[in-house]
Structure 1
Amino acid sequence: IVQGYFPSFKYSTGIQDLVRRNFQFRKPLPARNERLAEELLDEKAVAVHVRRGDYLNPENKADFYGMCTPAYYRASIDYVRCRQPNAKFYFFSDDPSWCRAEFSDVAQQVVEGNEGEDAWADMALMSRCRSAIIANSSYSLWARWLSAEKGGINLCPAYFFNDG
């Protein structure tokens, strides 16, 4: 028996358009996100996904996930800025107050208000950005993959899991 978590988009090779057509958000974005949704279509918009929440749990951190460090995000931001000096960074996170404090010099906007039943809205919003800096998270991957046809700069951590 093979047991595990094996995220890969290789299973959708050749059917990406079909998957994208069938993976649609069922509801319109909450009204509070309409202006932001339009802003994110600008080619300078960069989604930055920071996952902390459950990754802060020592069991998860030790067994499966290494949390992306501030150094990873800062190096990624520097990389984007070198190639796109007018980039505008939009932070999406389950810990917005930490993002605001840690990246006060960078974050033009920390997106908030899409918790609980509206948590899907962050993925929909991130998928509108031309470029992204993602966490080691399938949520990040899907948001990016759903907008892959838009090109842009896409950065992810070298490893999604600790040894394993």
Structure 2
Amino acid sequence: MIIAKATGGLGNQLFQYALGRHLALLNNDTLKMEANYYINSSFVYTLGRFNTHQEITKEEDYLRAGLPNIGDASFYGRIKRKIFRISEGLKPIHKKKFITEPDFTFCPEILNVRSSCYLSGVWQSEKYFKNIEDTIRKEITLRNEPSSEVKNWIAKTSESNSVSIHIRRGDYVDNPRINKFHGVCPIEYYTNAIDCISQSIHNPTFYVFSNDIEWAKNNLRVSYPIFFVSDKIIPDHEELIIMSNCKHNIIANSTFSWWGAWLNVNQDKIVIAPQKWFTGSDTNTKDLIPEAWVRI
């Protein structure tokens, strides 16, 4: 059994699912997603909205996977967990039962796991699931039929030389801790990205996605046809599918639009991503952005 801890928004969940799914397939095993994080979170667990192959963990799953009972507060329970932590520390990463992501770069040894384990991390690189990308693309499709409004947006993006623009604000602006670490892409980034992509394709039409769509309407200046897609009545998982249907993509420093661009199946797509992903950190992001994408 592979247990993957789910945290954060939809983009994070998709990365966590994709690695877990890959390991489950490699081991001919079941993927269980731990969704306890969402009990007291403003984020919503959304993977069930897609044709994903996963189940939510039950209490007995941890013991079945060979993990200690974290709910056992007895003296012997604490001793067992201490012995477990010591023995885990002596093992190579692919032999561990409890695997914590070593750092932000791709760790190939993870793909050598051949037994039940618990995964804790963000795993933000396509290298964790590149070998099963066709499977992931097939499964990250809507489980239920979308609304007529979503169908209309999909039709529009299909009929035009569509370019998605994602502007991530919300908690990136309002939460001081998140703002210090992530920051927001400045308007100059979008201006340069629009200029870059407009020189490469003919008659672009821009489709804007944002969790602060009013800010986008008031600040984004584009001399081409432009539509503002985000609306409270369109849930995130459907908005992601509209974004992925655009022929080209300008993403923010956000895993949500990363997935919107990655799921785009246009063989000639141009994807523009910010050069600096984390404003307040020197975290190495060399494995985050696929080689074919353009960073500015």
Shift of 1:54: 0.9
Render the CA deviation track for 1:60-98: whole Å, top value 9, x for unaligned.
011x31211100000000001111241010000001100
Matched, 1:110 2:221: no
Match of 1:21? 138
More deviation in 6-15 or 128-137?
6-15
Shift of 1:150: 3.7
Task: Tell me the number of residue pairs that the alignment of Structure 1 and Structure 2 aligns.
Answer: 162
TM-score by structure 1 length?
A: 0.89
Q: 2:177 aligns with which of 52, 55, 59?
A: 59
Match of 1:70? 187
Amino acid at match of 1:109: F
Q: 1:142 aligns with which of 259, 268, 273?
A: 259
Assess if the C-alpha contact under 8 Å between 1:50 and 1:134 holds in 2: yes
Taking the aligned partners of 2:265 and 2:271, their CA distance within structure 1 comes to 9
Greater relative CO, 1 or 2 (CA 8 Å, sep 6+): 1
Assess if the C-alpha contact under 8 Å between 1:42 and 1:129 holds in 2: no
Taking the aligned partners of 1:45 and 1:90, their CA distance within structure 2 comes to 7
Taking the aligned partners of 2:213 and 2:153, their CA distance within structure 1 comes to 16
Match of 2:76? none
Match of 2:210? 93
Amino acid at match of 1:9: E
Assess if the C-alpha contact under 8 Å between 1:114 and 1:120 holds in 2: no
Match of 1:122? 239
Taking the aligned partners of 1:159 and 1:96, their CA distance within structure 2 comes to 23
**Which stretches of structure 1, 4 residues or longer, exceed 6 Å deviation after superposition?**
none
**Bigger Rg, structure 1 or 2:** 2
Structure 1: stretches of 5+ with no match in the other structure: none
Assess if the C-alpha contact under 8 Å between 2:163 and 2:248 holds in 1: yes
Structure 2: stretches of 5+ with no match in the other structure: 1-99, 104-120, 284-296
Task: Give the secondary-structure state (helix, strand or coil) at the position aligned to 2:144.
Answer: coil
Amino-acid identity (%): 29
Render the CA deviation track for 1:11-46: whole Å, top value 9, x for unaligned.
112211011112222122221222221111135100
Taking the aligned partners of 2:123 and 2:139, their CA distance within structure 1 comes to 21
Taking the aligned partners of 1:160 and 1:42, their CA distance within structure 2 comes to 32
Taking the aligned partners of 1:115 and 1:66, their CA distance within structure 2 comes to 27
Q: 2:269 aligns with which of 147, 152, 156?
A: 152
TM-score by structure 2 length?
A: 0.51
More deviation in 22-31 or 8-17?
22-31
Change (3 A) 1:160 1:148: farther
Taking the aligned partners of 1:151 and 1:14, their CA distance within structure 2 comes to 21
Assess if the C-alpha contact under 8 Å between 1:131 and 1:153 holds in 2: yes
